[in-house]
Structure 1
Amino acid sequence: MTTNASYGKKLSAGTDFPVMNVTNLDDHTVELGKPRDGSDWQMIVVYRGKHCPICTKYLNNLESKRTTLLDMGVDLIAVSADSKEQLEEHIKDLDVKFSMGYGLSQDQLQQLGVYVSDPRSPEETDHPFAEPGLFVVNQEGKILAVDVANNPFCRPDIETLVNGLQFVKDPDNDYPIRGTHNS
């Protein structure tokens, strides 16, 4: 069945990030959009799930910038609609130290405004899953940066993303949230 309707309303830059909780591998509840451990910003990376080798590569590459992000005050969490068991299996292929959340509900995916796909077969996965999304939330809970894609190969380049965030976080640059003009 094919439809032309988007799944949810896309989140806009400059608006409040929705209040949303996920569970991480340590069975702790994490509130998305609320930076942790002394950070003042949070980067939320929504990925497709364990079935996606492109996601695995992206997350492993993101780990190489984890320390840089933390030094800048950017907390990092990756989340998916996978079950805890699927994440436990996936973590074997990941070499990451940042927080990983699981179990995003269909309602949460809709709130995030990410694209959602159905599995091509039961071997791929057993549930509708999110296509990639990336959100950077500032200390005021506002969405500073948003990137939502409908497939796994359209994501921000990690090096460019981190360099851009370094520029934006520098108070001397007085860089505003972009994309907020209402016509």
Structure 2
Amino acid sequence: MSKPDAGGQMPELSFPRFGGGEITVGGARERHTLLIVYRGKHCGRCKKYLGAFEGLQADWQSAGFDIAVVSADPLEKVEADVAEFGWTFPLGFDLSETQMRALGLYVSDPLSPDETDRRFAEPGVFCVRPDGVIQVVCISNGPAARPDLVELLDGMKFNIAHNRPARGTA
């Protein structure tokens, strides 16, 4: 499985958006992009992580970031989560396995039908510059390892203010 290169181009991908329309990442943009990939409705750790992010999204937006959050869940599961948790960030759904692989994400099979009914992506967080270059890539093979979004935002503000290149490219 190939991983996206820090300092490389984010693949251009589109996902259906909860509430209508599409979310597109990759390619040239006016602002930076924060892409969070979560496991889905079945994941309690995702709910905790996204609940914390809900309170941080305005900070990310004021720092110059467009936001995209996506999972492989179908619309019905996303609707149920939004109704339960009141998420207001741009939320995509139906992330395909091809898209998961294009992002270099780990893909898991459900442990049982009680967990979920489809393959899903393990967590990933990407910070992408307006020129489409991946500044930071954080990919996990399980739900317990994710970047601290407060610390990441602080680091991204520094990177932007000092025009830092992507690191880890050697």
| Alignment TM class, shorter chain as reference | over 0.9
The answer for the alignment partner of 2:14 in structure 1 is 21
- Residues 35 and 42, structure 1, Cα contact 8 Å, conserved in 2: no
Displacement after TM superposition at 1:67 (Å): 0.9
Structure 1 residues 154 and 33, CA gap change in structure 2 (3 angstroms): same
8 Å CA contact 2:28, 2:131 repeated in 1: no
CA contact (8 A) 1:145 1:177 kept: yes
Q: Offset at 1:174? A: 3.3
Give 1:5's aligned residue.
none
- Deviation sequence 1:90-127 (CA, Å, 0-9, x none): 21232322100000111111111100111111111100
For the pair 1:154 / 2:162, whether they are aligned, the reply is no
Amino acid at match of 2:33: Q
In structure 2, the partner of 1:45 is: 36
Q: Which residue of 2 aligns with 1:73?
A: 64
Query: Which letter maps to 2:167?
Result: R
Aligned to 2:93: 102
Percent of aligned pairs with the same amino acid: 38
Instruction: Say which SS state the counterpart of residue 91 (structure 2) adopts.
Output: strand
Q: Secondary structure at the match of 2:50?
A: helix
Corresponding position: 1:33 with 2:22: no
Unaligned runs of 5+ in 2: none
Structure 1 match to 2:104: 113
1:99–1:35 Cα change, 3 Å: farther
Q: Where does residue 3 of structure 1 map in the other structure?
A: none
Residue identity in the other structure for 1:177: A
Structure 1 residues 48-102: Cα deviation after superposition (integer angstroms, max 9, x where no partner)? 0000010011011011211111111111111000001111112123232210000
Q: Which is greater in Rg?
A: 1
TM-score by length of 2: 0.95
Other structure's SS at 2:114 match: coil
Aligned to 1:12: 5
Which letter does structure 2 place at the counterpart of 1:174? N
Q: How many residues align?
A: 170
> Taking structure 1 as reference, are residues 34 and 65 closer, same or farther at Cα in structure 2, changes over 3 Å only?
farther
